[in-house]
Structure 1
Amino acid sequence: MKVNRTRHGHPQQGIAGACLALALAVLALCMPVGTALAQSAGMANLLKHHPSSQASDPGNGQREARARAERHRAEQRDAERRRVDDRSNSRLSPDERRKLRKNLYDFGRDIYQGS
């Protein structure tokens, strides 16, 4: 049996052209930003490389790290305090548990028996 490798209406040259167009599109996207030309004054200002104010002050990064660490410690203390409070408030005495269990039993019986 003879197998036709090309579909009707799809010439092989079109596939090569599509691959070439795709490769050019990928190449255009990979070009560095520095080679881009701004279309307006505002965009030109955004494309300029400005030295950041944080880079000029070497102690600024250390201050931010200390502040982040202190904030983290404060959050941990608050979370631990909440856990301790939740544990102490959520415990029921044996009498309270017995009363709650009886009330739930009575409630379920009323629902299913319709009384």
Structure 2
Amino acid sequence: MDTIELLGKAQDAVTVNRVFGEPITRDGITVIPAARLTGGGGGGTGRQEGEQPGEGTGGGFGIGAAPAGMYVIKDGEVRWRPAVDINRIILGGQIVAVVALLTVRAVVRMLARSKAFRRR
């Protein structure tokens, strides 16, 4: 697969239909789901000289999607409702707790050294 073909496939993978889902309508309310896309790609090289002419390496393209939220249309008014990632919230809380504990430990050690120094 050459680079032009790889880029064509990447372009086909990242379309508006991958970001926005099909609208869902029920009881006068329309919901349009939306996703967050991330992707990356790589290329390749080859050589025509040396011990093994024609040797080369290739590349590829990857894409990932996660829910971002949804647009809610009700009575002609559009509102954005973000998706809540509970796992990300829990991880953020854990990181804050660890940093707080390390900070408290450092302050306690500093105070203990300060008191020991004053006693001398």
TM superposition score category, shorter chain reference = 0.3 to 0.5
Q: Indicate the structure with greater strand content.
A: 2
Structure number, greater radius of gyration: 1
Taking structure 1 as the reference length, the TM-score comes to: 0.37
- Structure 2-normalised TM-score? 0.35
Report which structure shows greater RCO (CA 8 Å, sep ≥6). Answer: 2
Greater per-residue helix proportion: 1
